[in-house]
Amino acid sequence: MKLTRFLLRYYPPGIILEYQTKTGDLKTKAIDLLDLTQSSNSGEIVDEMMKKEPLLANSNKEQLITLVQRLKQKQAESTKSQFYLFKVLKAHILPLTNVAFNKNGSHFITGSYDRTCKVWSTLAGEEIFTLEGHKNVVYSIAFNNPYGDKIATGSFDKTCKLWSAETGKLFHTYRGHSAEVVCLSFNLRSTQVATGSMDTTARLWDIQSGQEVNVLCGHSAEIISLQFNTTGAHILTGSFDNTVTLWDVNSGHKIHTLVGHRAEISNAVFNWESSTIATASMDKTCKLWGVADGRCIQTLRGHEDEVLDVAYDNTGRYLASASADSTARLYNAQTFELMHKLEGHEGEVSKVVFNPQGTLVMTASADKTCHIWDVQTGQCVQVLEGHTDEIFSCAFNYEGDTIITGSKDNTCRIWK
């Protein structure tokens, strides 16, 4: 194997090694630096990397130290905490279902009850084209980040479609589900897309060929969330049967079924390292689980109503939960200590997301606003107002300097 070049990944911090195999194929391997801080010694970090990684040689040392220092400089940059309304987009003729950015934030997409997905220019705040062809609500949407050249749309018409993000051309229509497709996810290598359905199954599809790779059967009720881990070897499915299942992607076999919640699952997510899983449930709790053994590590209690969403920050240091009790909660994901109770919304909080830097957390609510909170202090630093109906989708771009909010009022808003 021959090392060809280094690539930097700012969020979460890491260095990507691109190398050539003996057969001439180009592959990549990530070295995560999730614990990197301003006080970290760059030379010691590189020495440790070189001990563990056979692709690295002494001749790479100075370049690696420079790269680690660049990552530290990026961390030291002050993050934006105040946003102004850039544009209101009358996006669809019926309510939106979801919004999503491509990796660099140059484009975003919106799904809608009007059966379409629209692709927008973030810079101009203008529609580029509309993806038409579904025969029912377009409910789940995603770019194949980090590449961003393809879009998947999942619909109540029981299909998922794969499109070119650059031209709008339809590549494949994935058929096989017998009920609505309500969640989907690309793996990070962009070789597979997974779909979850009200028919109680998830399906894995090959992006290149359009063929079905595996059917994941075992849940006894609707699957409403799914996520690949960072390597693409495992996938999580959360279901209304009160359980979450961890699957082996290659074989399609169950690895663990996470049993313990007493009501429906609303979301299930991996931390970046894929060592733990966080689950949110209508039973008013979140639970943390070990990936290796499938055991419950901790139950986070305190919400007074259903927990509707849960999210890790990029490094896995923090965990946030959103609830129908009009609050969100912020936890230390290592110690499980409650850091802050985020109070201020006047309606249920359905969505919670961190900015890429992990310094801010954003909550979307039925009270028609999004709130932005400082992770360290728990203080609300800004309220994004103006929507005339419930906000149920929101996203930061990769740099954390632009926000999209999507509402039941048929509009989305760009904040910069």
pLDDT in tens, 260-309: 999 999 999 999 999 999 999 999 999 999 999 999 999 999 999 999 99
Q: Give the whole-number percent of the chain exceeding pLDDT 90.
A: 98
pLDDT, position 1? 87
Taking 90 as the threshold, does the pLDDT of residue 335 lie above it? Answer: yes
pLDDT, position 69? 97
pLDDT, position 113? 96
Residues 122-179: pLDDT tens digits?
A: 999 999 999 999 999 999 999 999 999 999 999 999 999 999 999 999 999 999 999 9
Phi, psi of 43 (to 5 degrees): -65, -40
- Where on the phi/psi map is residue 262: left (φ > 0), alpha (ψ -120 to 50), or beta? alpha
Cβ atoms of 228 and 194 closer than 8 Å: yes
Would you report the helix, strand and coil content of the chain in percent, each value rounded to 5?
A: 5, 50, 45
Q: What sign results for the dihedral spanned by CA atoms 168, 405, 268, 31?
A: positive
The helices-and-strands tally (H runs, E runs) of the chain is 2, 35
Entry pTM: 0.96
Closest CA relative to residue 76, chosen from 46, 36, 16, 33: 36
pLDDT, position 131? 98
Residues 224-274: pLDDT tens digits?
A: 999 999 999 999 999 999 999 999 999 999 999 999 999 999 999 999 999
Taking 90 as the threshold, does the pLDDT of residue 197 lie above it? Answer: yes
d(CA 117, CA 140): 10
Mean pLDDT across the chain, nearest whole number? 97
* DSSP of 199-242: TS-EEEEETTT--EEEEE---SS-EEEEEE-TTSSEEEEEETTS
Report all structural domains of the chain as residue ranges with CATH numbers, in order of start.
2-76 (no CATH), 85-415 (2.130.10.10)
Residue range 9-28: average pLDDT? 94
Confidence of residue 120 (pLDDT cuts 50, 70, 90): very high
